[in-house]
Structure 1
Amino acid sequence: MRVASKAASKAASEAASKVASEGGIRAPRALVPHAFALLLVALLLLVIVRLPWAGDLGIHAATIERLRDDPLHPGNPLVDADTPSPYYSPWTLLLGCLAKATGLGTFVVLRVAAVAGLGLLVTGVGHFVRTFSTRRGAAPVALLCLLLLWGPGLFDWSGFLGLNSLALTVSYPSTFALGSAFHLWALLRKALRSAAGWRVFLGLGVLWAVTLLSHQFTGVVASFGALAMVLGARPRPTRAVLLRVAGGLALGLAVLPAWPYYSFFGLLGAGGLEEIHRSLYRSLLPHFGLALLGVAALAVRWRRDHRDPLVIFFALGAAMFAAGGLTGHYSWGRVLPAALIPAQVAAALEVFEAGPLRRAFAALLGAALVLGGWTQAGTVGYVVPRGALPGPVAAKYRPPWTGYHWLMSSRVRYGDVVMAKTFPSRQIPAYGPYTVAPGYPDFFLPDEGERGEAVREYFAPGTTRAERLAVLRRYGVRWVVAYPGDGGLRGDDPALREAGVGPRGQVLYEVVG
């Protein structure tokens, strides 16, 4: 009995030692990934306070402005036209109603959206990772990989989870959609394992549709992930469970065309996005090279299980990304997160797998995360004044745009039409005015080409004064925003009156004639 007791005690001790060493639950080691993950989340929360202006912030602010003004018939968010817009999603409708009900300013509501989206994303990552591993450090390591395991070259785009990219897009619908997608995948895996009932799968179908409606590109990523979770489910779903999956899919497909603010399926034939997305296929190794560690981890997972959901997820995303490059459909490159996310998560999970190379892989991953963090160190500049940053970090900082709040102190009112070039047109509608031409492609605006040509005609050097005045009258322009060298009517033209001066000599003119 004593011998058996000693043997049992020794076995228990060895088991505990093994769990501690392989599971990473030793207190000092377990705290390291948690501490760094919390540090990055805290950094992002501080960034939200600043809400740096770059990229597509203007269109999302304009969308909330229009929904605040008229939630039922908001019209085009950028120009004075009664057209639908894919930016009017379930998420932005909720934000617009929040703005109308509370009276909060648009940029305050965007900060609320950012906090909610970030919370949904962080909890979604943890939720999803826990369906693969219960190790204490798996979720925070996965979050670190998603934020830092990119490349030695900086890359920013909505729907891509790099730290600097997320700092600029955290208030966008893409962040909400990504958070929803992680929860969708986690809930779907759990529902498949437990053979959940109809109510669960129907709810998942609605969540899938909301994700697609809120950010279409991320919705495709979410769809590939959901398909991978079904194809890789263990045990294999029974016929009854697959019937419930089909029912959830059917309900989601019914929700999509029922959304009243724009035609989801009408977007399938939209063009004009290929050239914008060509850059997704350039500099792949500088932008995404560190994620190859995750591809190696996926190869190991594939050897263990040919139906591993992360492997299938990666294969679907990589295949569509490659097809887009080969066929010239560069907008398909927006599906790249469907390859990056499973690779990054696989890299995190591999650290906690038993094997002779585990420690070597963990060390290599740690070095890659440090390099990825250094690449994106300029993100700190959105929180710390540039002058207080060390020289090498300050060199990586990219100052955000200044915005056009100064227009509103010059008697420009909500709904006024402003003549401006493309770059100002991406920001001015955020404050309530319209522009002649949209600063972004607009699939549902029938005269988009004519409006763009009108702006080019107004500012072109060979255009006569009469032609410029005709353009202003055609679109009911009340204000013109221009730098001194932009062209257009001269500043001393009797049809204009100077009304304000903005950063770098930009001038606001009131149209008086």
Structure 2
Amino acid sequence: MRPAPSDLEPVSRTAPADGTARAGRSLPRVAAALVLVLLLLVIARLPWAGDLGMHAATVQRLRHSLLDPGNPLVDADTPSPYYSPWTLVLGVLARLTGLSVFVVLRIGALVGLGLLVTGVLRYVRTLSSHRAAPALALLCLLLLWGPLLFAWSGFLGLNSLALTVSYPSVFALGLGFHFWAWLTRAVRGTAAWGTWVALGVLWALILLCHQFTGVVASLGAAAAVLAARPARAVLPRLGAALASGLLVLWLWPYYDFFALFSAGADLEAIHRPLYEHLAARFGLVLLGVVALACRARRDRRDPLVLFFVLGVLVFAAGGLTGHYSWGRALPAALIPAQLAAALETVSAGRRAVRAGWACVLGAALAVGAWTQAGTLGYVVPRDRLPAAVAAKYRTPWAGYQWITRAGVRYGDVVMARTFPARQIPAYGPYTVAPGYPDVFLPDADRRAAAVTRYFGGSAAQRRGIVREYGVRWVVGPESLAGPGLRKVTAGPGGQVLYRVVP
């Protein structure tokens, strides 16, 4: 007997909807899983660019001396903000296991990536119970940027994360997401005093591991507290958290954290590019700004809205006053906007509205993914990539392991210009001048001037500089050959390693 049309009607209405809903939940998870697999393969390759040499050098010094490592880049007994709790753990691991620094950094990258992913999941769960929300949020954090490729530590674009995944900034940001999740639950409930003290210690650890990410974490924490409108009984506990965090910062033995507040002037020039090409680099995030406006209409004290406003205020203040290092607070505006775009897609009003959000966000994520498609080149040989993707690939730095094979040893001083000076200390030697700004090195300018004089001065000037800084090796062009130098080997790009001789 043929069933009546009314008997078929519920099936025809619900089955496609259920299937569509399941597909909508599964697609972000599958896409996020593929992106994570890509990042795991990148960790195996560990492409060299940016500050990797600094972090490798820091672990090198700690593996040789945990109590008095000295300056990580030059032969000087000065503190360094790079000696953080996280690099100390990595230094201990390298010391106990005998593993190479770069293997230890890969292990650190795995831990940092794991903390980041689980932290995003926990924090998003405080904002939405939708099953697809964490995966979609992760995709937005990695892909919702702009049509102009941008990479900087502390910024979570896919290409940026691929290059910085072993940096302390990723570890600190992972801790930051866990911190926000834990704090959100604490201010909403009646957490014990011990919980608040632990939150303060966690806040201090984030600041010590990566100071700029610590600022972002602090702004997110302020937003969480303001949004929760905690009862008066919670305020003393907040004070205890703040006091415990400040105590940890004050007791940290490797550098004076509070001295960094007077060192910002040395960092302004290198951070000025953060205020350039904003629309091209971050234009897709405007979709998240629209989502934040929708959230603000529903609740003016929404935590993501407050987080975004605080981030924009700090970033704008830095640009208006010339404190360009404050631009490192920009993730405090980007992260809430990216998360808001993901959450609006899964929770906005009627099904048609959510479908519209899904279409627009999907297109934006596709643009962001295409912009960062060159990241595939870190795990797939360039000649096997489609030509359009290969054109987006940026070749990593080659490294300077070739000088250690030629006889340069741990602790030797090498004369080199800025670019090689960013990599050479990763293998154990020192350079005359640091390849990166060093706020605790009092003679940094004098050392930089000595390098300039050496490569542009007379033989007599070179002999004086060699004696003053104990230089044993020189990395420079073929044209540098002359008295006092003996060619040992040649490296990539026409560079030559010279031994200093009497």
The answer, yes or no, to whether TM exceeds 0.5 is yes
Q: What corresponds to 1:381 in structure 2?
A: 377
Q: Is residue 263 from structure 1 mapped to residue 256 from structure 2 by the alignment?
A: yes
SS of the equivalent of 1:352 reads helix
What's the CA shift string for 1:274-302, capped at 9, x where partnerless?
A: 11111101000110000000000000000
The within-5 A match list for 1:20-39 is: 26-39=21-34
What displacement does 1:25 show? 8.2
Q: Is residue 303 from structure 1 mapped to residue 292 from structure 2 by the alignment?
A: no
Assess if the C-alpha contact under 8 Å between 1:158 and 1:174 holds in 2: yes
Which of 65, 69, 73 is 2:64 aligned to? 69
What displacement does 1:17 show? 6.2
What's the CA shift string for 1:219-260, capped at 9, x where partnerless?
A: 000000000000001xx3111112111111111011101100
What displacement does 1:494 show? 3.4
Q: What corresponds to 2:4 in structure 1?
A: none
What displacement does 1:484 show? 2.9
Which letter does structure 2 place at the counterpart of 1:27?
Answer: R
What displacement does 1:155 show? 0.1
CA distance in 2 between counterparts of 1:283 and 1:512 reads 49
Assess if the C-alpha contact under 8 Å between 2:314 and 2:326 holds in 1: yes
CA distance in 1 between counterparts of 2:68 and 2:445 reads 24
CA distance in 1 between counterparts of 2:124 and 2:20 reads 17
Q: What corresponds to 1:339 in structure 2?
A: 333
Assess if the C-alpha contact under 8 Å between 1:377 and 1:396 holds in 2: yes
Q: Is residue 124 from structure 1 mapped to residue 113 from structure 2 by the alignment?
A: no
SS of the equivalent of 2:435 reads coil
Q: What corresponds to 2:234 in structure 1?
A: 241
Q: Runs of 4+ in structure 1 displaced over 4 angstroms?
A: none
What displacement does 1:27 show? 2.5
CA distance in 2 between counterparts of 1:26 and 1:333 reads 40
Q: What corresponds to 2:425 in structure 1?
A: 429
* Further displaced range: 44-53 or 268-277: 268-277
Q: What corresponds to 1:496 in structure 2?
A: 485
SS of the equivalent of 1:232 reads helix
What displacement does 1:483 show? 2.0
What's the CA shift string for 1:38-77, capped at 9, x where partnerless?
A: 0000000000000000000000000000000000000000
CA distance in 2 between counterparts of 1:448 and 1:504 reads 27
Which of 95, 101, 105 is 1:106 aligned to? 101
More helix by share: 2
Q: What corresponds to 2:168 in structure 1?
A: 173
What displacement does 1:361 show? 1.5
SS of the equivalent of 2:314 reads helix
Q: What corresponds to 1:321 in structure 2?
A: 315
What's the CA shift string for 1:2-24, capped at 9, x where partnerless?
A: xxxxxxxx9xx99x969x77xx9
Q: Is residue 392 from structure 1 mapped to residue 388 from structure 2 by the alignment?
A: yes
Which letter does structure 1 place at the counterpart of 2:252?
Answer: W
Assess if the C-alpha contact under 8 Å between 1:25 and 1:137 holds in 2: no
What displacement does 1:496 show? 0.9
SS of the equivalent of 1:52 reads coil
Which of 440, 445, 460 is 1:466 aligned to? 460
Q: What corresponds to 1:366 in structure 2?
A: 362
Q: What corresponds to 1:232 in structure 2?
A: 227
CA distance in 2 between counterparts of 1:101 and 1:17 reads 60
The within-5 A match list for 1:79-228 is: 79-228=74-223
Which letter does structure 2 place at the counterpart of 1:286?
Answer: A
CA distance in 2 between counterparts of 1:475 and 1:497 reads 18
Q: Is residue 312 from structure 1 mapped to residue 301 from structure 2 by the alignment?
A: no
Which of 397, 408, 412 is 1:412 aligned to? 408
Cα gap change, 1:183 to 1:483, in 2 (>3 Å): same
What's the CA shift string for 1:86-127, capped at 9, x where partnerless?
A: 000000000000000100100000000000000000000000
Assess if the C-alpha contact under 8 Å between 2:459 and 2:483 holds in 1: no
Assess if the C-alpha contact under 8 Å between 1:495 and 1:511 holds in 2: yes
CA distance in 1 between counterparts of 2:370 and 2:48 reads 22
CA distance in 2 between counterparts of 1:483 and 1:88 reads 33
CA distance in 2 between counterparts of 1:28 and 1:228 reads 34
Q: What corresponds to 2:3 in structure 1?
A: none
SS of the equivalent of 1:26 reads helix
Q: How many positions carry a matched residue from both structures?
A: 489
Assess if the C-alpha contact under 8 Å between 1:318 and 1:338 holds in 2: yes
CA distance in 1 between counterparts of 2:489 and 2:458 reads 25
Assess if the C-alpha contact under 8 Å between 1:30 and 1:136 holds in 2: yes
Query: When the two structures are superposed, what TM-score results if normalisation uses the length of structure 1?
Result: 0.93
CA distance in 2 between counterparts of 1:354 and 1:427 reads 49
SS of the equivalent of 1:441 reads coil
Q: What is the identity percentage for the equivalent residue pairs of Structure 1 and Structure 2?
A: 65
Q: Is residue 53 from structure 1 mapped to residue 48 from structure 2 by the alignment?
A: yes
* Structure 2 unaligned residues grouped into runs of 5+: 1-6
Cα-Cα RMSD: 1.6
CA distance in 1 between counterparts of 2:235 and 2:124 reads 23
Q: What corresponds to 1:7 in structure 2?
A: none
Q: What corresponds to 1:478 in structure 2?
A: 472
SS of the equivalent of 2:127 reads coil
